[in-house]
Structure 1
Amino acid sequence: MMHDSIGDMIIQIKNAACAGKEIVELPHSNMKAAVARIFQQEQYLDSVEKIGSKPKELLRLKLSYEGKVPVLTNVKRVSKPGLRCYVTKYKIPTVMGGTGISIVSTPQGIMTGKEAWKRGIGGELLCTVW
């Protein structure tokens, strides 16, 4: 049985935003930390912290809110363990007419779709956020 850690992270963030929670804690991995940093750069998260020590390291994510409304309205996992989705530079989607972002795992690291397009590279389309 496969475990989708990025999918679990995305769902935990989405559920916390819907429930009005301010902080989400989840097990640390380098890939989760990279995705969380992109969420923070795009202002969907206020802060990303690594807490604890090995082997029980955790990521503490603080969600962004405008008043009482979460900034993050929806997240969709695109590439899944059972059906991977790879895109070229030209196939990276625009999300909600440019108001959202796509996150792509490339040979040069995890980045937004816009940054991957500027660098002229494609990769695995992890998720879309708006």
Structure 2
Amino acid sequence: MMTDPIADMLTRMRNALVIERPHVDMPLSKMKTGVADVLQREGYIWDYEVLDTAPAKTLRINLKYSATGERVIQRLTRVSKPGRRVYSESRKLQDVMQGMGIFVLSTNQGMLSSREAKAKHVGGEVVCEVW
């Protein structure tokens, strides 16, 4: 039984990036789709798609690499964990890598990047850090 599906998602993505796979597949959930949507909007992945597989649907994330083959995502870290939830107000969100990275937040307006959350003046649970 998996206790933290988001940590599993991030680990699958880290492992695929290390071996330079073009895409990574994982079980589908709304929260994982939200994280993938934020990563696509911010330019960290090419895109994502929902595959209708049996017995359950699958989320496929197409990873992004530079023209020289360097990974666009250098680091994926889970911030809020099942045993310790981390929440932040929009005005208290710090820059990640001096603006080179983002936090992914779960807010009452859906999944947002830290840049979008600051612009909309909403806070929420800090799901992960990406740079």
Tell me by how many angstroms 1:107 deviates: 0.8
Q: Any conservation in 2 of the 1:2–1:81 contact (CA below 8 Å)?
A: no
Q: Are positions 1:64 and 2:64 aligned together?
A: yes
Q: Deviations over 1:59-111 (max 9, x none)?
A: 01110001311111101110000000011112212100001011111111110
Aligned partners of 2:51 and 2:103: how far apart in 1?
A: 27
Partner residue, 2:30? 30
Instruction: Tell me how far 1:53 sits from its aligned partner.
Output: 4.9
TM-score between both structures, scaled by the size of structure 2 = 0.93
Distance in 2 (CA, whole Å) between partners of 1:93 and 1:15 is 27
- Distance in 2, Cα, partners of 1:57 & 1:63: 19
Pairs aligned (count): 130
Whole-Å separation in 2 of the counterparts to 1:54 and 1:124: 32
Where does structure 1 differ by over 4 angstroms across 4 or more consecutive aligned residues?
none
Residues 1:51 and 2:51 aligned together = yes
Distance 2:124 2:2 in 1: 21
Q: Displacement, 1:55?
A: 4.6
Where does structure 1 lack aligned partners over 5 or more consecutive residues?
none
CA distance in 2, matches of 1:15, 1:53: 22
Partner of 1:90 in structure 2? 91
Q: Which moved more, 1:33-42 or 1:50-59?
A: 50-59
Gaps spanning 5+ residues in structure 2: where?
Answer: none
- 1:121 aligned partner: 122
What's the offset of the Cα at 1:44?
1.3
Aligned-residue CA RMSD in angstroms? 1.4
| Identical aligned residues as a percent | 39
